[in-house]
Structure 1
Amino acid sequence: MSVMDVNELVQTVFSGLSPLVIEDVAAEGERIVVRARTPKDTAVRPICGASSGRVHGYHWRTVADIPVDGRRVVVRVRVRRLVCPTRGCRHTFREQVPGVLERYQRRTARLTRQVKAVVKELAGRAGARLPAILAMGLSRHTALRTLLRIPLPTGRVPRVIGVDDFALRRRHRYATVVIDAETHERIDVLPDRTADTLQAWLRAHPGVEVVCRDGSATYAEAIRRALPDAVQVADRRHLWHNLCEAALSEVKAHSSCWATVLDTPLYDGPRAQTTLERWHQVHDLLDQGVGLLECARRLQLALNTVKRYARADQPERMLRVPKYRAGLVDPYREHLRKRRAEDPAVPVQHLFEEIKTLGFTGCLNLLHKYINQGRADADRSHLSARRFARMLLTRPDNLKAGHHDLLARLTAACPELTQLAARIGEFAPLLTPREENTDELSRWIDQVREVDLPHLHSFTRGLDRDRDAVNAALTLPFSNSPTEGVNTKTKRIARQMHGRAGFTLLRHRILLG
């Protein structure tokens, strides 16, 4: 290979060092040493801006560059110290090479960019391990310092923002994230979720017109105090979630109705007897004019528990279907039914041996329990209240073929379940924003209040307490879902750092996106 070819190869491999004059490239074991010098052009003093070419002396700078062939690259550059040409100034200054050598840095600019890209994704220890594999030596402390030196994006305060809280330490410490609800960019992270903190931030960042939030009364009060003219938008996902919880509670309260359709016995153990006794105790006190809080104190129950008993007008509505989860025996239920129909006296041990040859991996006690609970003799596998509620809340087009008839039979078990299915079907279209949804919601609330569905009544009372924000959610295209997405990514960042990140570091990573 000719000398010209070697020079071209060097210029190609080390093209990022093109502002320098490369004089020699040498391989020294596990590293490659590049010797270079700065060109003999004039340099500008950063303080006064005067150009100078008068050399006062020379010295060497050693910096790391991006690796080549899996080996570290060290660049030794001879730089000049120049004399300032300003009259009466005897100061000297060291020339810089923008884009290659930065002041006080031990890495080239292009290596620094790669390191920043790594630590932005991995932060401390993980951010130090990966560069080590790529032949870029880096300690975890240097990785964190490099990460915190990455400038945060700054921009205008958006017109529409989303706010939501996330846990720094679950049930102990929380923080608030603020994003642009239109572009989904992170705007800021606040150290807590108090009303005063959010109120101060909103007053310090004027220009916000619409705020998307969840059902938090704290955030609502802060927005009301700081931006009385701003439009508050509730989160449609939380509205649907709250309706799902209310529907599940109604399904549980009517277990005695729909369980008869499936010939599923209600739980009648000691817990059921205690439940009935507590129902009578609560309603006896209520009939005497005792308040809910005093009932809770006398019976030594939680206030919400007393409310749940008070909401049920009949003791049977407190009884539940047994909670049977899907088990290892379920795939062999049809075989068990067939064998027990042919020979009612067949020993359980024989059944155990038969299904074991079919692939059953459980134990004999599990099969005994399954048969004693009556699950092997049922016409179909057990249906829990949660599964029934899930069918009610699923889009009809997405239901399985056999679920349509089953759902029709279950909802026809009592008038209340029929009304519940109808009200759910009428509320779902309201979650598509339209101008007429405000009037439709008012009519829907009036229809719900005419039906004996106390848990759904509680849901409507929650809608009334935050009616303006709910109306905005059902008529405007804005949503707090992007903020929930940022919170999901925040949890991933926290898990990646094993929950040990301080607020400053976590905030920096969140805002860098």
Structure 2
Amino acid sequence: MDTILPDPTCFALQKLRATAHEIVAVVCSTQTTSACPLCQRASSQVHSHYQRTLLDLPWQGITLRLELHVRRWRCADTACPRRIFTERFATSIMPYARRTDRLTTWFTLVGLALGGKPGARLLQALGLVAKPDTLLRHIRSLQAPARAPLTHIGVDEFAFRRGRVFGTIIVDLLSHRVVDLLPDCEPATVSRWLAQHPEIVVVSRDRAINFGEAIRRGAPQAQQVADRWHLLENLAERLETWFRDQARPLRTAHDQLRDASPTLLGRSKAEEAEGQAEQARQRQRYEQVQQFKAQGCTAAAIARHLGVSRQTVYRYLAMTSSPPRRRITPPQTAQQRHTRRYVEQRWAQGCHNAVQMWRDLKEQGHVVGFRTVSRWVTLLRKATGIRGYRSTEPSPLGPPSTSLTPRRAARLCLKDPAHLRREERQVLADLLGQAPEIQTTYDHVQAFGRMVRTRSGQDLDAWLVEVEQRGCAPLRAYAAGLRKDDSAVRAGLTLPYSQGVVEGNVHRLKLIKRSGYGKMGLATLRQRVVLPQAS
């Protein structure tokens, strides 16, 4: 029976007493001496006896309570101010504790993993009674263990409330552990924390301006490192903006015909008219923004006058022409996708008869109307110029390709050519052949991508000069931004540090934060994020 005791070397089991809801173990101490907590001198003089009641680990889902009979001792050192002290059990029970150390370990693990209410429900299922507030108080009382001096850290923001309230997460890049959470991402707060750690030599960050300024003020001795993924992401955003003005090269003849046939896109005539009206409103707003800009109005003044957000005004100010119509295709069902692929496949094989295709689909068990098949075949006839339905020669064009969106075009230009699929290579080749400036922009983007992938920051100067002389306007603006952050960008293109570790911990923080249903305060969130990794 000694196996149920917290420490069999210090305790002896006298008897067990069972009730309907718990088991009570009567235990006495077997120590012959005890050390004074002040002078640490061992004493064998017993002063009196008393009883402690503690909770221990449950036994087969039943609560186990200890009735511990212990003693008070007289200090053997006459000069010690502590004349009488209680018996200590350093290996199993803390002074004044109401539960054993091993049960406290349960509270710690469950509280850090689940929090208050979920943790209390789990402990209740295991045979313990613990209130959510008890677990939360225990979590907040935990002390983080001492850590080695910080030399390489990464900083990033996270949201307490998405889009409204933000904080700062600080991660040790060498151990991949979260160091601290700050209540906001203001430069003053971050710089104050950095000033308390003068041993920091490297700080990784994204392209946010507030963190760059905070690091310069709080840790001027540290080398800032711009994250490579964010460099590429910012480049993709600039490239996407440029492709929005290059809408015509991105559209294929097939999709232009589809746009002229709204029924093929699942839109009614009323929905098509509404889309055209929305395009007219956007064109009118673009013209209004440009007129106010010509009059010298600020973005904030334009936003107030038109009743729109400043982000909308900035988007229109960055455009060189009126925004093109963005057609949002309703999601197709599996049956519709299969019908389209089947019609395009049979057309490429040489079958141009809509009736025959419809009959074949019916024989295969597909429920599809003849009008649906006929619309797709009519579209293919217009795209290929083949009029007769009796022709059986395969179409030299093959299945028609879909148009590129500005975002997909930007991603294709940024992607490593070695990782392109065969169909992506064909789409990219068609895109680059549309205009010489697209080929030039692609060469610039690929050159920067190679610098990022190979960490060859020594080629940055030549790339900046080339882009400033021959690059498109968005790339020149991107190059100007790199020059403003020159030191951090060069370090990002040379050193091995990045924000990957920080972003991973941000995702972990989101999971913990959401488990609190938006009611977790900073103190509890910091403990649940920092302590599991520190221990």
TM-score interval (norm. to shorter): 0.7 to 0.9
Give the TM-score, by structure 1 length: 0.84
On the 8 A contact 2:201/2:221 being kept in 1, the answer is yes
Q: Deviations over 1:357-403 (max 9, x none)?
A: 5278xxx9x979x9799699873456433333333333333333222
Change (3 A) 1:45 1:221: same
| Corresponding residue number in structure 1 for 2:338 | 331
| Corresponding residue number in structure 2 for 1:52 | 43
Cα offset for 1:28? 3.6
| Corresponding residue number in structure 1 for 2:99 | 107
Change (3 A) 1:242 1:114: same
Task: Select which of 332, 353, 363 maps to 1:342.
Answer: 353
Are 1:507 and 2:515 counterparts? Answer: no
Show structure 2 runs of 5+ residues with no match.
261-274, 384-399
- For residue 199 of structure 2, give the secondary structure of its aligned residue in structure 1: coil
| Corresponding residue number in structure 2 for 1:358 | 366
Show structure 1 runs of 5+ residues with no match.
1-9
On the 8 A contact 1:211/1:233 being kept in 2, the answer is yes
Matched residue count:
490
d(CA) in 2 for partners of 1:282, 1:145? 55
| Corresponding residue number in structure 2 for 1:437 | 457
On the 8 A contact 1:165/1:175 being kept in 2, the answer is yes
Q: Deviations over 1:20-58 (max 9, x none)?
A: 122223444443332221115011221333432222322
Cα offset for 1:177? 1.6
| Corresponding residue number in structure 2 for 1:402 | 423
| Segment of structure 1 superposing worse, 411-420 or 207-216 | 411-420
AA aligned opposite 1:77:
L
On the 8 A contact 1:264/1:321 being kept in 2, the answer is no
d(CA) in 1 for partners of 2:130, 2:312? 56
| Corresponding residue number in structure 2 for 1:36 | 27
RMSD: 3.6
Q: Deviations over 1:151-196 (max 9, x none)?
A: 1133243111111111112233221122212222222222211111
Task: Select which of 139, 143, 157 maps to 1:151.
Answer: 143
- For residue 422 of structure 2, give the secondary structure of its aligned residue in structure 1: coil
Cα offset for 1:125? 0.7
On the 8 A contact 2:56/2:103 being kept in 1, the answer is yes
d(CA) in 2 for partners of 1:309, 1:451? 25
Cα offset for 1:452? 5.9
| Corresponding residue number in structure 2 for 1:253 | 245
Give the TM-score, by structure 2 length: 0.80
Q: Deviations over 1:82-104 (max 9, x none)?
A: 23344497943221222222212
| Corresponding residue number in structure 2 for 1:222 | 214
| Corresponding residue number in structure 2 for 1:420 | 441
On the 8 A contact 2:340/2:376 being kept in 1, the answer is no
d(CA) in 1 for partners of 2:82, 2:318? 89
d(CA) in 1 for partners of 2:119, 2:376? 55
Q: Deviations over 1:290-311 (max 9, x none)?
A: 5675994798366665665555
d(CA) in 1 for partners of 2:147, 2:340? 63
Are 1:474 and 2:465 counterparts? Answer: no
| Segment of structure 1 superposing worse, 16-25 or 337-346 | 337-346
| Corresponding residue number in structure 2 for 1:81 | 72
d(CA) in 2 for partners of 1:504, 1:271? 48
On the 8 A contact 2:300/2:310 being kept in 1, the answer is no
Map 1:262-411 to 2 at 5 A: 262-264=254-256, 269-276=276-283, 290=296, 293=299, 296=302, 300=306, 308-309=315-316, 311-313=318-320, 318-320=323-325, 322-324=327-329, 326-328=331-333, 329-335=336-342, 341-343=352-354, 357-358=365-366, 379-381=400-402, 383-411=404-432
AA aligned opposite 2:90:
P
AA aligned opposite 1:358:
H
Cα offset for 1:466? 1.1
Map 1:109-188 to 2 at 5 A: 109-188=101-180
| Corresponding residue number in structure 1 for 2:264 | none
AA aligned opposite 1:119:
G
| Corresponding residue number in structure 1 for 2:514 | 495
Change (3 A) 1:355 1:320: farther
- For residue 449 of structure 2, give the secondary structure of its aligned residue in structure 1: helix
d(CA) in 2 for partners of 1:488, 1:376? 50
d(CA) in 1 for partners of 2:381, 2:301? 43
On the 8 A contact 1:292/1:306 being kept in 2, the answer is no
Query: How much identity, in percent, do the aligned residues show?
Result: 28
d(CA) in 2 for partners of 1:31, 1:295? 72
- For residue 76 of structure 1, give the secondary structure of its aligned residue in structure 2: strand
| Corresponding residue number in structure 1 for 2:265 | none
| Segment of structure 1 superposing worse, 290-299 or 394-403 | 290-299
On the 8 A contact 2:2/2:12 being kept in 1, the answer is no
